[in-house]
């Protein structure tokens, strides 16, 4: 087993990044002297990356779980994850095997991630809000996934999945007693020695995680992310504020509010970056605005990271103007566009601007951040590319680079770009061209290098940070006995940016009040994941279609915009 105890990154302040296609990118003229131009390091597994800080700060609290009032130190993180890794090897889990985790935010998620990675297996996070059809697709698509860590609250869903697909090993999390066909987390590692398996890892080629995201077919696609993908992204994002050596004393005293779902690429990366910084992760199993505001005041949190709907809930909370938020020095929003009115209200009360960032599951996920060294923080902008990342705006048809302020497709190049789509070489070759990842997002860059998202070339709906495929929602709606046709599009929402709207054509026998919009809403809510069912439903007589018979989504979106 390779020894990484002397590992450290090399900060290059002289030579521009090899990922830059053009050294005259406008944002580079503002780059501060203490910001490295590139970061070089020997490839290192994610768990060894985190273990470096855990060994240096073993007594720091790693995780504090608010719901159970339990705390774990970094020493315990290594101890528990080593036992878990050893238990998995004894179970027969081998390098390259997919192992699932289906739970909300809890300490066991972090323990499981590191334990799985230490065996050389691939972490497959499964959103705890998904219904059995989505979960079954992920389990089946992952291949030989037969071991899964499941929160007790998600056991019923997994049991339904088991009727379709065989799952040999179910480890139950946060459970006092095992259910039929399961074993509790505590029982699973009981009596197992805390010995890290001797597994050779190729960090730049071996997969650390397989994260599923929405695809153009309507079904989730597996995104293959290596250890180097995550380590590169974490280092580049952390170093956007300056060299790590300058702020290590601050890092080890940082409190990170873990409110973003850890199963998401954004939450997953924050988990890795915060652990490398030896920060304390205060985990919340669900989002409660009052609790978050109290935690910011109590822990004197300096940087709050959330998605737009979380900012909206905080701002609308009656405690927002009563709590002391003076410790906040930064606030960052990601996953979707933050409504301008929300950004304005936040700045009025807190006194700081909300910086937006950008990323995709395919980029581990961060590509852009609001950099302090730029002339100003612009709430409407997603900021500038992080270290070792290049970005350009091109004509979607010709891929020719456009001039400043011209709207085109955003392309990304960097070490955080995925290895590819799982079992989809053709889709991978369409998405990654000459090292450039096609995001499918329409954007523009101004003369100073600030980037702005203007729309999407795809039909993906971004609801509260989740990607929702219209076709998937439509196919489920078609299962309703009263629905003849359905067209699903994004609709403007003043609080969260955009929401999901379904235009429905009823069968003749169900018209004249026999079925209401509310009936359809409740029916869909029962059958689709919590972030997928339509929030708005409107009955129409006929769906607009193109000349080849496809749903004319642009016309539906225009109608939704006019009606908002």
Closest C-alpha to 51, from 29, 69, 28, 76:
76
Residue 227 vs residues 45, 114, 184, 203, 272: alpha-carbon distances, Å = 5, 12, 28, 5, 11
Report how far residue 67's alpha carbon sits from residue 283's, in angstroms, rounded to the nearest whole number: 8
Reduced to 3 states (helix: H, G, I; strand: E, B; else coil), residue 491 is strand
Domains, the chain, in order of start with CATH, read: 68-246+261-277 (3.40.50.980), 463-563 (3.30.300.30)
pLDDT at 550: 62
H/E element, 111: helix 107-118
Please, what are the averages of pLDDT over each run of 10 residues along the chain (564 residues)? Answer: 94 97 97 95 98 95 93 98 98 97 96 98 94 92 94 96 93 96 97 96 98 65 97 95 58 81 91 93 91 95 87 92 94 78 90 93 96 92 97 95 95 98 96 96 94 77 84 87 91 90 94 93 95 95 70 86 84
Quote the DSSP letter at residue 3.
Answer: -
Write the CB contacts of 373 (distance below 8 Å, at least 6 apart in sequence).
Answer: 30, 31, 32, 35
Instruction: Decide if 266 contacts 211 (C-beta within 8 A).
Output: no
Amino acid 217: pLDDT? 41
Q: What is the pLDDT of residue 509?
A: 92
- Phi, psi at residue 294, to the nearest 5°? -65, -40
pLDDT for the residue numbered 548: 44
In angstroms, rounded to a whole number, what is the distance separating the alpha carbons of residues 440 and 404? 19
The pLDDT value recorded for residue 243 is 59
Task: List the beta strands (DSSP E) in 317-435.
Answer: 330-333, 355-356, 358-359, 366-369, 384-385, 390-394, 408-413, 420-421, 432-433
Q: How far, in Å, CA of 64 to CA of 72, rounded? A: 7
- Distance linking the first and last C-alpha atoms of the chain: 60
How far apart CA 92 and CA 144 sit, in angstroms, is 12
Write down the pLDDT at residue 210.
98
pLDDT computed for residue 448 by the predictor: 98
Distance CA 57, CA 54 (A): 5
């Amino acid at each position: 087993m390779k020894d990484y105890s002397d590992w450290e990154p090399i900060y290059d302040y002289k030579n521009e990044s090899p990922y830059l296609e053009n050294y005259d990118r406008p944002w580079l003229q503002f780059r501060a002297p203490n910001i490295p131009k590139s970061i070089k390091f020997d490839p290192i597994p994610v768990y060894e990356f985190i273990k470096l800080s855990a060994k240096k700060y073993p007594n720091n609290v790693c995780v504090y779980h608010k719901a159970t009032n339990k705390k774990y130190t970094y020493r315990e993180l290594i101890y528990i994850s080593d036992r878990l890794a050893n238990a998995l090897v004894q179970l027969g889990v081998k390098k390259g095997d997919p192992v699932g985790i289906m739970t909300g935010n809890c300490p066991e998620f972090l323990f499981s991630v590191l334990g799985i990675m230490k065996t050389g297996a691939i972490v497959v996070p499964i959103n705890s809000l998904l219904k059995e059809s989505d979960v079954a697709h992920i389990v089946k698509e992952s291949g030989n996934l037969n071991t899964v860590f499941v929160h007790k609250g998600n056991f019923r869903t997994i049991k339904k999945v088991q009727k379709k697909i065989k799952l040999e090993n179910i480890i139950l999390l946060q459970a006092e007693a095992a259910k039929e066909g399961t074993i509790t987390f505590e029982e699973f590692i009981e009596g197992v020695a805390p010995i890290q398996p001797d597994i050779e890892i190729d960090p730049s080629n071996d997969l650390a995680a397989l994260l599923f995201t929405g695809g153009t077919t309507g079904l989730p696609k597996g995104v293959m992310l290596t250890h180097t993908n995550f380590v590169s992204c974490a280092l580049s994002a952390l170093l956007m504020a300056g060299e790590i050596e300058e702020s290590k004393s601050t890092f080890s005293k940082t409190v990170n509010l873990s409110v973003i779902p850890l199963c998401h690429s954004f939450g997953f990366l924050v988990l890795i970056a915060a652990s490398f910084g030896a920060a304390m992760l205060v985990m919340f199993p669900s989002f409660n605005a009052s609790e978050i505001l109290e935690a910011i005041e109590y822990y004197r949190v300096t940087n709050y990271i959330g998605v737009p709907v979380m900012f909206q809930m905080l701002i609308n909370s009656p405690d927002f103007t009563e709590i002391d938020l003076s410790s906040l020095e930064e606030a960052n929003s990601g996953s979707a566009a933050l409504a301008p009115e929300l950004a304005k209200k936040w700045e009025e009360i807190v006194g700081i601007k909300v910086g937006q960032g950008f990323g995709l599951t395919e980029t581990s996920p961060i590509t852009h951040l609001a950099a302090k060294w730029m002339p100003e923080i612009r709430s409407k902008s997603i900021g500038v590319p992080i270290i070792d990342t290049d970005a350009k705006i091109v004509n979607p048809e010709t891929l020719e680079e456009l001039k400043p302020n011209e709207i085109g497709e955003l392309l990304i190049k960097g070490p955080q770009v995925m290895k590819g789509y799982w079992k989809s070489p053709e889709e991978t070759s369409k998405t990654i061209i000459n090292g450039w990842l096609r995001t499918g997002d329409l954007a523009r860059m101004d003369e100073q290098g600030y980037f702005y998202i203007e729309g999407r070339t795809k039909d993906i709906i971004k609801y509260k940070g989740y990607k929702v495929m219209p076709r998937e929602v439509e196919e489920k709606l078609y299962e309703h006995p009263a629905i003849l046709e359905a067209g699903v599009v994004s609709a403007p929402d003043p609080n969260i940016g955009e929401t999901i709207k379904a235009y429905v054509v009823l069968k003749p026998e169900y018209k004249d009040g026999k079925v209401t919009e509310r009936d359809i809403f409740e029916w869909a809510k029962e059958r689709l994941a919590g972030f997928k069912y339509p929030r708005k439903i409107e009955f129409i007589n006929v769906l607009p279609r193109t000349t080849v018979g496809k749903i004319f989504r642009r016309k539906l979106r225009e109608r939704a915009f006019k009606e908002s």
